[in-house]
């Protein structure tokens, strides 16, 4: 059976324009499906004849998945009017867009693609896909700093999830997140009275920089994509995947079934760590060798 897709999404997947722009074309009566003016929300397939301004819509392009080592100064936006936008920096011949973002002052690994579904599955907060960073701060850190970063900190009306954190130098550490809060690492450090001086993402899920120099990109390999698709096969791409169980409720919100109003948002006591393991290290996933990641001072 041929898969049905909403018309605006189908148009977007050909690279003609974004979904929002496709909606405007449909509303303006510039799109026809099988000779008829479609209603908003109509679902179509590859068997339908779609015209825009009486010209046939080109076939969907081959799916593209790119790993890019974003340099400091590049902005993760598709807005061409912004001179430092990531699309112009890569200059790929087809329409692509970033999966997530890295701040302009940050650097490191970011994915770009022309497929919308994989974007949603990777980005949804509830899907717990790992992203690894190496971070430098403005003054020496200690064991207490590592414990508090790993144990969860109150920022942006929530408490960050417990995570793996390991000190790699006097002022550097590695952190593995499964959240994607706005400027999360910088805000966590600021909460503890530190300022981030360097921030580099070195891994997303099973993919690392693989020797890419800043500004270089490559296509993800078939093996990498197989592992990614396996890991997101059960991931939610809809709203339930974005629920943050740590998010605080406002006075108008309904309480969640799993909520326990008698518990404080985080423990105030000392965080326990298991023998010979860094604080907050996940119980599953690939083993990491201590001290293999560092930043040059």
pLDDT tens sequence across 122-147: 776 455 789 999 999 999 999 999 99
CA-to-CA dists, residue 9 to 23, 27, 165, 191, angstroms: 9, 15, 39, 40
Highest mean pLDDT pick, 117-121, 148-152, 249-253: 148-152
Q: How far apart are the first and last CA of the chain?
A: 58
Is 234 tagged catalytic?
Answer: no
- Nearest Cα to Cα of residue 153 among 196, 117, 112, 186: 186
> Per residue in 228-266, pLDDT tens?
888 887 655 444 444 455 554 443 434 344 344 444 444
Point out the catalytic residue in the list 48, 53, 103, 244: 103
pTM: 0.66
CA 40/CA 85 separation, integer angstroms: 31
Name the strand (E) or helix (H) holding 13.
helix 7-13
Confidence grade of residue 14 (pLDDT, cut at 50, 70, 90) = confident
- Nearest Cα to Cα of residue 145 among 185, 194, 199: 194
């Amino acid at each position: 059976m041929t898969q049905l897709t909403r018309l605006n999404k189908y148009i977007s997947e050909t690279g003609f324009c974004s979904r929002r722009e496709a909606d405007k074309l449909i509303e303006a009566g510039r799109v026809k499906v099988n000779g008829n003016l479609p209603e908003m929300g109509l679902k179509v397939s590859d068997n339908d004849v779609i015209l825009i301004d009486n010209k046939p819509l080109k076939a969907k392009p081959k799916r593209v998945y790119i790993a890019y080592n974003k340099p400091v100064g590049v902005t993760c936006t598709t807005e061409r009017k912004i001179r430092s936008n990531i699309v112009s920096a890569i200059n790929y011949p087809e329409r692509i867009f970033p999966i997530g973002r890295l701040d302009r002052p940050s650097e490191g690994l970011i994915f770009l693609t022309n497929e919308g579904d994989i974007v949603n599955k990777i980005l949804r907060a509830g899907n717990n896909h790992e992203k690894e960073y190496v971070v430098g701060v403005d003054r020496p850190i200690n064991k207490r700093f590592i414990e508090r970063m790993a144990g969860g900190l109150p920022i942006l009306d929530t408490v960050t999830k417990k995570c793996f954190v390991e000190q790699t130098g006097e002022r550097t550490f590695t952190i593995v997140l499964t959240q994607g809060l706005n400027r999360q690492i910088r805000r966590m450090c600021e909460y503890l009275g530190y300022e981030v001086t360097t921030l580099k993402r070195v891994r997303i899920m099973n993919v690392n920089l693989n020797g890419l120099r800043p500004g270089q990109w490559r296509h993800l390999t078939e093996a990498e994509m197989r592992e990614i698709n396996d890991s997101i096969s059960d991931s939610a791409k809809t709203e339930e995947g974005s629920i943050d169980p740590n998010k605080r409720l406002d006075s108008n919100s309904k309480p969640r079934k799993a909520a326990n109003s008698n518990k404080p948002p985080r423990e105030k006591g000392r965080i326990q760590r298991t023998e010979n393991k860094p604080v907050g290290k996940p119980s599953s996933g690939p083993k990491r060798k201590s001290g293999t990641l560092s930043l040059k001072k």
